[in-house]
């Protein structure tokens, strides 16, 4: 074999080894990425399950603000009728 052919053969062998190494790294990266996505999906599922009851509870409290304001108005009327000066907290 001539020197140029030997160098080309070594170059192709090195290239083939680099491609093989890159393929192995890519497969490992894909596996790790899949694991990470699975973990993230699990965390999101857990968050969703925990938020659903909170959302329901929040919907059940929508009218409370109006009721509290109404009670404060009534309390003010009672205080005024009794001659009590309201004590407001800062």
Distance, in Å, from the CA atom of 16 to the CA atom of 23, rounded to the nearest integer, reads 10
Question: What's 86's DSSP letter?
Answer: P
What pLDDT does 43 receive? 95
Walk along the chain (90 residues) and give the pLDDT tens digit of each residue: 677 677 777 888 888 899 999 999 999 999 999 999 999 999 999 999 999 999 888 887 877 888 888 998 998 888 888 888 867 654
What pLDDT does 13 receive? 85
**DSSP states along 34-83:** HHHHHHHHHHHHHHHHHHHHHHHHHHHTTTHHHHHHHHHHHHHHHHHHHT
What pLDDT does 90 receive? 47
In this prediction the pTM is 0.49
CA angle 55, 61, 54 (to 5 degrees): 20
What pLDDT does 42 receive? 94
What pLDDT does 23 receive? 93
């Amino acid at each position: 074999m001539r020197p140029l052919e030997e160098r080309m053969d070594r170059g192709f062998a090195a290239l083939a080894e680099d491609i093989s190494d890159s393929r192995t790294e890519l497969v490992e990266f894909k596996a790790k990425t899949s694991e990470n996505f699975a973990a993230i999906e699990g965390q999101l599922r857990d968050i969703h399950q925990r938020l659903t009851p909170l959302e329901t509870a929040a919907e059940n409290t929508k009218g409370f603000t109006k009721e509290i304001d109404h009670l404060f108005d009534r309390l003010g009327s009672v205080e005024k009728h009794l001659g009590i000066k309201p004590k407001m907290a800062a």
